[in-house]
């Protein structure tokens, strides 16, 4: 297994305690030449999971900084698509691509329109890519509120308020955990009869 990130130090920290042998490599998905070198070095492989993301694009539309929204696309949508495209020469025919999007693409909540655009762009391509790239399978996991360091960029009281609201309103009665998303990814990787699917892993947030 190979895990890649622009920042090897951050990646190695994240991989501590992960069972099995995981090789850490540096790659910048915003650099086409770097991507090409990376996939050439990895060689033939079976599954690609794309977790690239950013932190910009949220806020009321009337005052939304469209340049920040553009940066949000450039941090998530474009690199995921670039990596998927660049992987094709070495992704085996029975393999799969799994995009990581976000449930903001479907919940129509004020203040998340920009995030919906970023993630919805990826989700809109899943079905077409599943047909175009067959027999390779193409799917996506669409997480809701998951307790990861992504939320640490918020003030502590704001984060606590979001998590409390989720616990009180979600059908499952709790916020997500990284393992929840990992299990959804594993299912899509292993199930050879599933393609063109966007799997919500959101505790029922899309139902509210």
pLDDT in tens, 31-46: 999 999 999 999 999 9
| Cα(36)–Cα(121) distance, integer angstroms | 24
Kindly report the number of other CB atoms within 10 A of residue 202's CB atom.
27
Domain architecture of the chain: domains with CATH: 44-207 (3.40.50.720)
Q: Are 180 and 81 in contact (CB under 8 A)?
A: no
Q: Are 163 and 175 in contact (CB under 8 A)?
A: yes
**Ramachandran quadrant class, 173 (left: phi over 0; alpha: psi -120 to 50; beta: rest):** left
pLDDT tens sequence across 139-197: 999 999 999 988 888 899 999 999 999 999 999 999 999 999 999 999 999 999 999 99
So what's the pLDDT on residue 31? Answer: 94
Does 18 score more than 90 pLDDT? no
pLDDT tens sequence across 58-100: 999 999 999 999 999 999 999 999 999 999 999 999 999 999 9
Using the structure block, give the residue that is written with the tokens 């067959």. 134
| Cα(140)–Cα(106) distance, integer angstroms | 13
DSSP 90-157: TEEEEEEEEEE--THHHH--TT-HHHHHHHHHHHHHHHHHHHHSTTSEEEEEEE-SB-SGGGGGS-HH
Mean pLDDT value across residues 95-108: 97
**pTM of the predicted model as reported, rounded to 2 decimal places:** 0.94
Peptide bond into 14 cis (omega under 30): no
Using the structure block, give the residue that is written with the tokens 């929204």. 69
Mean pLDDT value across residues 191-206: 98
Kindly report the number of other CB atoms within 10 A of residue 11's CB atom.
16
Q: Give every CB contact of residue 57 below 8 A, 6+ residues apart in sequence.
A: 64, 68, 69, 71, 72, 73, 114, 115, 117, 118
């Amino acid at each position: 297994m190979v895990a890649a990130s622009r920042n090897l130090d951050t990646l190695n920290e994240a991989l501590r305690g992960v069972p099995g042998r995981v090789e850490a490599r540096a790659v910048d998905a915003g650099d086409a030449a770097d991507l090409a070198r990376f996939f050439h070095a990895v060689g033939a492989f079976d599954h690609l999971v794309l977790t690239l993301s950013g932190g910009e694009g949220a806020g009321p539309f009337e005052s939304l900084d469209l340049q920040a929204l553009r940066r949000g696309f450039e941090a998530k949508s474009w690199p995921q698509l670039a990596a998927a495209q660049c992987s094709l020469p070495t992704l085996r025919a029975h393999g799969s691509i799994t995009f990581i999007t976000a449930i903001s693409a479907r919940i129509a909540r004020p203040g998340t329109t920009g995030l919906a655009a970023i993630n919805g762009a990826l989700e809109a391509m899943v079905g077409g890519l599943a047909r175009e790239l067959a027999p390779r399978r193409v799917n996506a996991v669409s997480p809701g509120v998951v307790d990861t360091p992504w939320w640490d960029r918020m003030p502590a009281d704001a984060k606590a308020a979001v998590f409390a609201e989720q616990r009180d309103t979600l059908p499952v009665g709790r916020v997500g955990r990284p393992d929840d998303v990992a299990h959804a990814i594993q299912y899509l990787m292993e199930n050879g009869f599933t393609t063109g699917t966007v799997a919500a892993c959101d505790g029922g947030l899309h139902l509210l």
